[in-house]
Structure 1
Amino acid sequence: MKLYPLSDRLFLYLILLFLLLTSSALHFVSTLKNSHVLFKLLPIIFVSLLIFGYSRYYNFKENDVNSVMKYCRINNIKNVYVTSKAKNNILDFNAFTDDYFCDDLELIEINSNSNFNRSNYLLTRVHNKIKPNTEAKENQLVLSLLNKNKIKIQNQFNGFNIYKILK
């Protein structure tokens, strides 16, 4: 278990300080008498890039693990089939939050030999900020199950789809 002040989460708070210091330095340089025109434009360019970056991420949030856990809790889902990418994202999120949102949900990794007798649900990871809500390339098995009408979409979250397994 990681100690919070010394874990990688510390960077979340340090990045804001870094951005503020960088903006302040750019503003100071732009106010100097002999500063080049480019230095006067740097704060505007810097802020524009930050706003563009945040707007691209904000539109397609991809890791709403908390909503997935809440959905499973409300619907009394105790175990669920998952793709390897979905499992890794959920486990990483749980490690990042020190298992604060962790439930007793059992994640059963799907493979081509899965017979779907341990759960009625399949959780997949959707991704791609350029093409939102598209299936990950490694989820060819999921696409195959959709084409064979063995699963049906149950719910969508930012970054995840839950399918009902049809028996």
Structure 2
Amino acid sequence: MFQKSTSFWTSLYLLSFAIPVPLVIPSTLNVSASTGVLTSQSQTGPHKANAYIARNVGGALAKELQGKPVVVDIYASWCSKCKNIAPTLSQLKQQYQGKAHFIVFDVTNKTKFSESQVKAKKLGLGDFLAKNKSQTGSVTIISPSNGKILGEYRNNTNLSDYTSVLNSAISQR
């Protein structure tokens, strides 16, 4: 039924000798041994390098967000990651009340998502929400003046990760 192909068997034989090659990551990227998270260094500080979030939200944010870093939470009531980070975000909101803007985009259902879309467009974050609506449990810190992403985290309960980026952003104002 099947014809033996010499080239197929030769290729298969040669593949069996493949030597594993370590993945080379540029020196600006680091992989945490404990968490397995890929991080990179930027001029404004460390941030989690995620393929699902662009490095910029597309420009300056709305006037009402200017002057303070913006913390964006992609939330859904059914999201276990969202529940996991809720206490950390609550602490962060208390600690940075008046020093940072906190925005929650609720994507729990179609109605909540539609409301969040309207809010996002008004704030200059429409494209950001469209690209990240499925990334529940993610928190992104953004510079309002240029839309640059300063830090992005997913299911991260380590308060100091957030505070280091926020403190850096606040000191550079």
Give the TM-score taking structure 2 as reference length.
0.22
Q: Which structure is higher in helix share?
A: 1
Instruction: Name the structure, 1 or 2, with higher relative contact order (CA <8 Å, separation 6+).
Output: 2
